[in-house]
Amino acid sequence: MSAPTVTAIDSRTWCLDEGGVRFFLLAGNEKALLVDSGMHTHDARDVAAGLTDLPLSLFNTHCDVDHVGSNTQFDEVWVSPMELVHPKAPHDSRTVRPVWDGDIIDLGGRELEAIALPGHTPGSMALLDQSSGMLFSGDPLQRDGRIFMFGPMRSVAAYIHGLKRLRTRANEITSIWPCHATCPIGVEVIDELIAGAEAVERGEVPYTDAEMHGTPIREYDVGVSTLLCDPA
C-alpha cells in the first residue's frame, strides 16, 4: 500500500490523492480538519500530522467505503446523521458529531459551511470555505467522472433537488474540489449536472446496460459525467 500523493493547494490547504480517490486537509489559525480519510490509506492522521501541528478533526462528506479508510484513527467524526441510516455505510468512529445543512465548522479565521447535497447518499455534505469560496464537494459534483446513483438510499430526484439548492449559492463559489475525476472544476458543472440528471429522469438519455459489484445498472452518459443508475 503506497502513501497518498500530497499536493499543497495553498499555504493552508492540501490535497491527498490515492489515484482513484482524493481527500483534503484544511488548516485554520487554531485547528485543522481532514475532509474524508481515504480508501486504501489507513494512517491519514499521521500523514496530516506531517503537514500541520494544529489539533486535527475529521469530517466525512459521506460514508461510502472509499472515504473512511482512516476513520479508526479518530475518536470522533463530523458527519451528517442522515449517513447513519444507509445500510452499507461503514462507520468506525466511536463518537458522531452531527453536522446539519448550514452548520459552521470554525477552524479559527477559517469558517467552513456545511451544505447538504443528498442523492448520491442520503447525507452527502459539501464544505464551503467562506473566505476563499472553495467548495469541497465529495462525490456529487464531478467532471469526466462516474457518479454512483444505484443501490439503497440513492435518489436522482434528491440529487437534482440538492444541486438546484446549491445553484442559488453559485456566486459564492470560486472553485470546486471533488473527490474523484477532474480537480478542480468550475461552478458551471452544477448547471450541466442538473440538465443531465433531469434529462435522465425524462427518459431522454440513451443508456448502456452494465454491472457494478455484481449489481445490474444502467450507465447514462450525460456529457459532463456518467450517472450509474438502477435499471428500474
Give the model's pLDDT for residue 90: 62
Set of cell numbers at residue 101: 445543512
Candidates 83, 92, 94; CA nearest to 121 is 83
- Number of Cβ within a 10 Å radius of residue 91: 15
Give the model's pLDDT for residue 213: 86
Give the model's pLDDT for residue 28: 98
Residue with C-alpha cell 441510516? Answer: 85
The CA–CA distances, whole Å, from 21 to 85, 86, 135 equal 23, 21, 17
Give the model's pLDDT for residue 54: 98
Interatomic CA distance for residues 116 and 123, integer angstroms:
7
CATH architecture of 5-206: 4-Layer Sandwich (3.60)
Residues 6+ apart with CB under 8 A from 228: 146, 147, 148, 149, 150, 210, 212, 217, 218, 219, 220
Interatomic CA distance for residues 4 and 54, integer angstroms:
20
Give the model's pLDDT for residue 47: 96
Give the model's pLDDT for residue 89: 62
Give the model's pLDDT for residue 27: 98
Give the model's pLDDT for residue 88: 57
Helix (H, G, I), strand (E, B) or coil at 62: coil
DSSP single-letter state for residue 66: G
pLDDT along the chain (232 residues), means of 10: 89 96 98 96 95 97 93 94 76 84 98 98 97 98 97 94 98 98 98 98 97 94 98 86
Candidates 134, 121, 111; CA nearest to 24 is 134
Give the model's pLDDT for residue 94: 72
Give the model's pLDDT for residue 106: 98
